[in-house]
Amino acid sequence: MEHNQARWLLENLLDRLTERNDGKKEITGVITEAEQQALEAAVKALGGETAKPVDDEEFGQKIPSEKKGGLLPPPVVSPPIEEPDIEVVGPSIKVPEIELDDISPDYRICIDFGTAMSKVTFVHDGERDDGGDIIEVLPLGEIAGQDPIDGGPELLISSVYIGNDGKVYFGKSALEVSDQEADEDDARKRVDNIKRFLSEDGIDDFLVEVFNPTKLDITFKDILFYYLVYLTWVIGKCVKDLDESYDTALLRRYAMPCFDNGKANEYARLLSDLLGGAYVAMVGLEHNGFLNEEMENPFHEGIPLSDLKAVCDVALSQNDQYPFVDFAITEPLGVASALISEDGKANNLSMVIDIGAGTTDISMFRIRVDPEHDNFVALQIPGATAGFSMAGNYIDRVLTHKVLSLAGVTSQTINYRRIYNALERNIRRYKEDLFNDGNVDVTLIDGNVVEVTLEQVMESSSIQRFQQALQNTIVEILERAPKHYLENAPRHELAIVLTGGGATLPFAQNVIGWELEVNGVSIKTVPARPCPEWIEEDYPELIDSFSRIAVSLGGARQNVIQPHGQ
């Protein structure tokens, strides 16, 4: 047995020690064969030998003379037990072989793995009673046991926390446990913005002690992978709730920010491998008994980091091909693919502006659909794509510093770190209240209550820089676009499609109504329909959530707009 595997199993045994009423300790549950082997390996490593088989006579039990010598009756041979085909990696972790030969092309999901919240849409082609597609936005948050105040039932919190007990907590549990432990140690932190490591450097950096109180070496890429394992489990539960006949190893596409080509290809491959490995790891956790099947959400009480790391390391070491992982789409491309219907008419030059939590992504598209004349043109305009790292998280930081400034809190203030960390953990909730109501009262842990208005935040120099970056990027994209697309734009208009959590930002709405002169061509920005007509007519239940789920909805449809050059 490898030393690391033995150590993880022994640490898990120690985690299971509980104190009895008489002050002594006992281990809950049975000791598995792998744990016994780990104990034997530890004894040998310390220079000892494992115990010999016990002779019953040594303990005063009389052994019949006929069993001490002479012929023994033939042993009873049990019929052979057929065991499932299992690949054994080391003596401890077993990874089941997964049959992946018969993956249906008729239904699929698209994962919009969000910095703050994740969304997933399921589409089954042509299976509705009227011949249309079955479209289901998976209730990830509801299945995970989140509260309605945490957002809609389709939103899954993208947070991970390693507790002081050595367990890994996800989503709502990560928020709850981190808040509880913050009272004991205000320096502890959870990882809230996992996806940002795709758009910033540092994905291979090791977590420092404030994030990881254990002695195991964990990188941010590991944390990203662990979250995808959790997300994969929730997706599987949702899919089975739709119909037991659906395979949980179904086709999956995934959304990406707008990176430059080199970085886009690098991270598309990384996410493809992690999403495939996450399914294998999820099955491995179940197979090795690390998920309590009696619980509605076995992740709720946390998974020991040693167990999770052992299984995930094995899953990633397989270097398998994952035919159920389809392809990546950019976030604006997913939105654009949700706008069109083969049965309806459309003729426009569109710009999709997706303001998420980690990035703002922008792309231009030329769409012309006319079923009567057999016209179906939907293409991404070459060179007309860009993204930048100002979005919801940036506004969180601006709001945090605005609150501290109004409260007179500086780095020299007593308990500054406690005040800052507590505010940072709750800033998203305050931000939502601020944008919904126009003002919010923020209570700091020192008892200070600060009133902040939306006008104060929007007038800050940091928000002005965000607004200027957005305007500059729009103009730069228009200037890079081939001139004939602007010259032939229907009605000389550019339809602006705003999606993502920042779609309602006042300065985002202000980009509508511009009259621009670009490369000698006049063009006016106009609002697109808040929701596509085909959704309003055929899927009215999706109208209210469209701006949040547009990326995953468009990405899961059978036909998506292909990026330029593909």
**pLDDT one-digit tens code per residue, 198-209:** 766 678 899 999
At residue 247 the predicted structure's pLDDT band, cuts being 50, 70 and 90, is very high
Higher pLDDT among residues 230 and 113, named by residue: 230
Q: Do 284 and 95 meet the contact criterion of CB atoms below 8 Å apart? A: yes
Q: Residue 108 contacts by C-beta under 8 Å, 6 or more apart in sequence?
A: 122, 123, 250, 251, 252, 253, 326, 556
- Report whether pLDDT(214) > 50: yes
Distances (CA, A) of 481 to 471, 473, 486, 519: 16, 12, 8, 10
The DSSP secondary-structure symbol of 70 reads: S
Say what the pLDDT of residue 514 is: 93
Average pLDDT over residues 207-230: 95
User: Position 325: which residue type?
Assistant: V
Q: What 3-state DSSP class applies to 540?
A: helix
**Taking the C-alpha atoms of 337, 339, 344 and 345 in order, what is their torsion angle to the nearest 10 degrees?**
-100
Distances (CA, A) of 266 to 198, 269, 271, 350, 373: 10, 5, 9, 28, 41
> What six digits make up the tokens of 98?
């997964």
Say what the pLDDT of residue 299 is: 94
Cα of first residue to Cα of last residue in the chain, in angstroms, is 48
Average pLDDT over residues 450-479: 94
Say what the pLDDT of residue 78 is: 41
At residue 5 the predicted structure's pLDDT band, cuts being 50, 70 and 90, is low
Say what the pLDDT of residue 359 is: 87
Number of residues that this document lists for the chain:
566
Say what the pLDDT of residue 53 is: 40
- C-alpha–C-alpha distance, residues 259 and 385, integer Å: 9
Average pLDDT over residues 307-329: 90
Distances (CA, A) of 99 to 209, 214, 466: 40, 36, 48
Q: What 3-state DSSP class applies to 271?
A: helix
Q: Do 229 and 221 meet the contact criterion of CB atoms below 8 Å apart? A: no
Say what the pLDDT of residue 31 is: 60
Q: By C-alpha distance, which of 340, 511, 501 is closest to 435?
A: 501
40-44, 98-102, 450-454, 518-522: range with lowest mean pLDDT: 40-44
Say what the pLDDT of residue 446 is: 87
The DSSP secondary-structure symbol of 126 reads: T
Point out which residues pair with 419 in neighbouring strands: none
Q: Do 341 and 370 meet the contact criterion of CB atoms below 8 Å apart? A: no
